[in-house]
Amino acid sequence: MTYDAVIFDNDGVLTEPTLLEVQREAVRRAFAEFDVDPTTEAIDGVIHGGLTRLRRICSVHEVSVDEFWPRHETHAAEVQLECLENGTKPLYDDVQTLDELDHPLGIVSNNQHATIEHILNVYDMTDHFEVAYGRDPTVEGARVKKPDPHYIERAMDRLDVEKALYVGDSNVDVVAANRAGIDSAFVRRPHRDGYALAAEPTYELDSLDELLAVC
Distance CA 108, CA 154 (A): 9
Task: Work out the pLDDT band at 44, boundaries 50, 70, 90.
Answer: very high
Q: What are phi and psi of 177, to 5 degrees?
A: -65, -45
Task: Work out the pLDDT band at 189, boundaries 50, 70, 90.
Answer: very high
**114: closest CA among 72, 64, 65?**
72
Query: In the predicted model, what is the mean pLDDT of residues 82-86?
Result: 98
Show Cβ contacts of residue 12 under 8 Å, excluding neighbours closer than 6 positions. Answer: 168, 169, 170, 187, 189, 191, 192
Task: Work out the pLDDT band at 197, boundaries 50, 70, 90.
Answer: very high
Cβ burial, residue 85 (10 Å; 0-12/13-18/19+): exposed
Write down the mean pLDDT value for the chain: 97
Query: In the predicted model, what is the mean pLDDT of residues 71-95?
Result: 98
Query: In the predicted model, what is the mean pLDDT of residues 185-207?
Result: 96
Q: Tell me which amino acid residue 136 is.
A: D
Residue 91 has pLDDT above 80, yes or no: yes
Residue 14 has pLDDT above 80, yes or no: yes
The DSSP element (H or E) to which 8 belongs, if any, is strand 5-8
pLDDT tens sequence across 100-112: 999 999 999 999 9
